[in-house]
């Protein structure tokens, strides 16, 4: 009877045990032109003596982008939308618009967000139709990319394969530094 009780307890405990979910490493697709993606993480910006940071969720489809900037508890504090019609930035009780995201962020924030190039650079790809310099690390991953006056450094990837997506991206240009720490990719 004690053996049966012991076996029953063992089976019940074994049934409660679970294996951790397999981590799925998202890789860059083979066809890289206009890759739709969603990334979530954090962004930090340093411009002169000004510093700011927030959570970020960026959805990119073809030529349209939506970037949500979030407070520490997850509330959306700003939304940037950009497409072929133009760009808009919405904050509580404020709305701004411009021809593109570069002009919009210059007008509102005092610095340019290079969205047209950034949609490629976050994937560790050079933007098409522009000159660039690239350095790779020993795993074949892009370590440094220079394009349009920007220097983009990739310091961490999701895995050690050449087609892995970056998790830490730092952009620098003329007194402006933008850091992206990506927690999750959806391709």
Give the 3-state DSSP-derived string for the chain, with helices as H, strands as E and coil as C.
Answer: CHHHHHHHHHHHHHHHCCCCCCCCCCECCCCCCCCCEEEEEEEEEEECCEEEEEEEEEEEECCEEEEEEECCCCCEEEEEEEECCEEEEEECCEEEEECCHHHHHHHHHCCCCCHHHHHHHCCCCCCCCCCEEEEECCCCCEEEEEECCEEEEEEEECCCCCCECEEEEEEEECCEEEEEEEEEEEC
CB 119 within 8 A of CB 65: yes
Its pTM stands at 0.84
CA distance 82 to 179: 20
Q: Of 109, 167, 157, which is closest to residue 136 (Cα–Cα)?
A: 157
Digits of tens for pLDDT over the chain (187 positions)?
433 333 333 333 334 444 344 356 678 876 666 789 999 999 999 999 999 999 999 999 988 999 999 999 999 999 999 999 999 999 999 999 999 999 999 999 999 999 999 999 999 999 998 999 999 999 999 999 999 999 999 999 999 999 999 999 999 999 999 999 999 999 9
- pLDDT the model gives residue 4: 33
- List domains and CATH numbers for the chain: 33-186 (2.50.20.10)
Q: State the Cα–Cα distance between residues 120 and 147, nearest whole angstrom.
A: 11
């Amino acid at each position: 009877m004690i053996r049966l009780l012991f076996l029953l307890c063992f089976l019940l405990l074994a049934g409660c045990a679970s294996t951790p979910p397999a981590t799925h490493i998202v890789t860059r697709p083979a066809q890289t032109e206009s890759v739709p993606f969603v990334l979530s993480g954090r962004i930090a910006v340093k411009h002169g003596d000004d510093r700011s940071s927030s959570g970020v969720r960026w959805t990119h489809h073809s030529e349209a982008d939506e970037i949500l900037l979030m407070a520490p508890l997850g509330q959306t504090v700003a939304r940037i939308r950009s497409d072929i019609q133009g760009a808009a930035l919405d904050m509580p009780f404020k709305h701004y618009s411009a021809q593109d995201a570069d002009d919009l962020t210059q007008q509102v924030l005092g610095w340019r967000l290079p969205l047209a190039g950034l949609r490629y650079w976050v994937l560790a790809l050079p933007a098409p139709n522009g000159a660039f310099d690239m350095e790779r690390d020993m795993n074949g991953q892009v370590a440094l990319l220079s394009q349009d006056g920007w220097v983009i450094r990739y310091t961490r990837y999701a895995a050690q394969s050449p087609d892995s997506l970056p998790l830490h991206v730092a952009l620098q240009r003329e007194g402006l530094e933008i850091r992206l720490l990506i927690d999750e990719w959806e391709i």
